[in-house]
Amino acid sequence: MSKSKEKREKRETKESKKKTCREKLVEDNIVRRISNFIRQTPILNQIIGYYYVIIHGIIATFGILVLLFSNNIIHLACLLIVIILDSFCIVVLHDCPLTMLEQKYLKTSAVSTRFEALHKSNVVFECNHEYESQLELLINVWSFCAIKMFAIILLRTNVAPVLNANLELSNIPKLYLV
């Protein structure tokens, strides 16, 4: 039995030496060194952070443009779905995912900057949690989008002819002054 134990121990030491050699090869790899160097530079964090700021701005801008200038119900419904998904993420994560990534890479975010600007303007929320103000904003945008969709549906059904702006003048009674 002692011989089999010795053989097993020799095998285990050889395997452990092989693992350390493999690990050294992985750590000393030129690609690994370049990757570690790039990850440690602070400029890369700023580039990634500004990338998330730009993505956040594009999504918000296109959402606002669709909300203000589109009368297509399908486009507005897609916008409602995006708002609902973002609201769900805020409820679950207590923050917008893009805001979290901005905070991670830039140590600040557009939401925190807006929050500080509102505090300087003496506009103060009852609670200091940023996610509550984000959720409030999304609820207001969702409400505006839903009201616009309902108004478009109402105007397209011809249920409300009073709201129709193309009234014929012949149907309006004329007043004659003597």
pLDDT in tens, the chain (178 residues): 566 767 677 676 666 666 566 666 666 777 877 877 777 777 888 898 999 999 999 999 999 999 999 999 999 999 999 999 999 999 998 888 999 999 988 988 888 888 788 788 887 767 767 788 888 889 999 999 999 999 999 888 865 555 555 555 445 455 444 4
Closest to 146 measured CA to CA, from 79, 63, 61: 79
Q: What does the chain come to in residues?
A: 178
Report which residue type is found at 94: H
Domain assignments of the chain as residue spans, ordered by start? 42-157
Q: Which residue has the tokens 């011989």?
A: 3
Contact 52, 102 (CB under 8 A): yes
